[in-house]
């Protein structure tokens, strides 16, 4: 009886199995099958360190089966790993001067992760090292656009703005940085000064560029920078210097003499147009500027040492003043007198 029961169960089981539907064969051309094959191959490539190939494989798998989160997650993981490897390749290459390798890695970074500033930052550094400042500026600006709050990228862009004579942009960028870093205040002031110089008339720009500013050049700067000097009405009977008559700075010199900045020798009738301005003269000139501008007294203008202490005119070993120093001193005095 027992044997018959066992045999019956076996026969019934066999019958059930025979009647059950068989698993349908997998279509190797289906998106799912192709995606699975790509993923398997990509894992092998990732294990071999071929992250770019692995990333491409998983991207294709995710395209074939977009509803499968596993493929999308793996794409994100491989992208992050690839970006890290490219950064680890680009930065050292840049530091050792291997610019082609740095550029290749940077271009790959831009392609793989175009929303990241990393690749553009390396491209900017490589272009700057090659002296291609306009290319460097374009790449640095793109990097800054990707991460405008990044202090390093902002400072790099500001430095390139200075090198490419974009002084207004440099002043604005250093101004942003100065809000949290006092060190940037001086750089902002330098950028502002360069912007002002850039927009000066030709004679004034030449005066600023002088290694030793002359009286004629200082007169030009005074008329250009100080509204009260430029608009001053000359009193009748002002002294006339014969050595200014054929000078391009003649009008500026006439005003400077009439306003008391320079005197004319009664013996020679010369005022010394080409005499370099000494550092010891500057406090007197700047006090006169302040008085014309409405602030006749200021302790910062009493002596060369006070000028240096107040950051108006630095003390140096030179007895003369450069055009750039004179420009900055006049500008600082005007701001002090406001």
pLDDT in tens, 322-332: 999 999 999 99
Of the residues 160, 181, 199, which one is the last residue of a structural domain?
199
Q: Please state the pTM of the whole predicted model.
A: 0.68
The helix-helix angle for 69-95 and 118-129 (nearest 10°) equals: 20
Does residue 157 surpass a pLDDT of 70?
Answer: yes
Cα separation of 242 and 204, whole Å? 22
Domain that holds residue 77: 41-146
Say whether both 193 and 212 belong to one domain: no
Cα separation of 331 and 287, whole Å? 13
Q: Is residue 229 part of a domain?
A: yes
Q: Is residue 14 part of a domain?
A: no
Q: Is residue 26 part of a domain?
A: no
* Distance set, CA 2 to CA 8, 9, 16, 233 (Å): 10, 11, 21, 134
Say whether both 226 and 330 belong to one domain: yes
Say whether both 139 and 46 belong to one domain: yes
Say whether both 209 and 332 belong to one domain: yes
Q: Is residue 6 part of a domain?
A: no
Short-list 84, 126, 119, 125, CA closest to 105 = 119
Say whether both 290 and 252 belong to one domain: yes
Say whether both 207 and 193 belong to one domain: no
* Distance set, CA 113 to CA 23, 45, 92, 142, 149 (Å): 43, 20, 20, 13, 19
Q: Is residue 187 part of a domain?
A: yes
Say whether both 82 and 105 belong to one domain: yes
Residue 77 sits in a domain whose CATH number is 1.25.40.10
- Torsion angle in degrees (nearest 10) through CA of 160, 163, 167, 173: 20
Say whether both 279 and 208 belong to one domain: yes
Say whether both 182 and 269 belong to one domain: no
Say whether both 206 and 193 belong to one domain: no
Does residue 4 surpass a pLDDT of 90?
Answer: no
Number of folded domains that form the chain? 3
At 239 the pLDDT is: 67
Q: Is residue 5 part of a domain?
A: no
Place of tokens 């001193």: 329
Of 61-75, 137-151, 152-166, 169-183, minimum mean pLDDT range: 61-75
């Amino acid at each position: 009886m027992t044997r018959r029961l066992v045999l019956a169960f076996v026969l019934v089981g066999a019958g059930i199995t025979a009647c059950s539907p068989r698993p349908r064969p997998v279509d190797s051309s289906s998106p799912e099958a192709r995606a699975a094959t790509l993923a398997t191959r990509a894992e092998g490539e990732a294990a071999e360190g071929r992250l770019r190939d692995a990333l491409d494989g998983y991207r294709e798998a995710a395209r074939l089966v977009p509803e499968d989160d596993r493929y999308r997650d793996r794409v994100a993981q491989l992208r992050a790993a690839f970006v890290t490897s490219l950064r680890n390749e680009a930065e050292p290459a840049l530091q050792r001067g291997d610019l082609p390798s740095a550029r290749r890695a940077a271009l790959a970074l831009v392609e793989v992760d175009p929303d990241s500033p990393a690749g553009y930052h390396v491209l900017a550094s490589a272009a700057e090292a090659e002296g291609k400042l306009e290319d460097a500026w374009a790449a640095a600006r793109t990097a800054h656009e990707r991460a405008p709050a990044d202090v390093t990228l902002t400072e790099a862009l500001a430095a390139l703005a200075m090198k490419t004579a974009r002084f207004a942009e440099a002043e604005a960028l250093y101004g942003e940085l100065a809000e949290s870093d006092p060190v940037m205040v001086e750089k902002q002031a330098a950028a502002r000064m360069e912007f002002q110089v850039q927009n000066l008339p030709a004679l004034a720009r030449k005066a600023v560029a002088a290694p030793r500013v002359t009286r004629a050049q200082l007169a030009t700067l005074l008329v250009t920078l100080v509204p009260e000097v430029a608009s001053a009405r000359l009193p009748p009977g002002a002294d006339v210097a014969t050595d200014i008559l054929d000078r391009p700075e003649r009008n500026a010199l006439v005003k400077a003499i009439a306003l008391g900045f320079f005197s004319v020798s009664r013996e020679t009738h010369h005022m010394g147009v080409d005499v370099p301005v000494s550092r010891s003269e500057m406090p007197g000139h700047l006090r006169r500027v302040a008085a014309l501008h409405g602030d006749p007294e200021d302790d910062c203008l009493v002596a060369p040492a006070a000028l240096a202490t107040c950051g108006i005119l630095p003390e140096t070993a030179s007895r003369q003043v450069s055009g750039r120093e004179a420009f900055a001193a006049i500008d600082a005095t005007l701001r002090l007198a406001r």
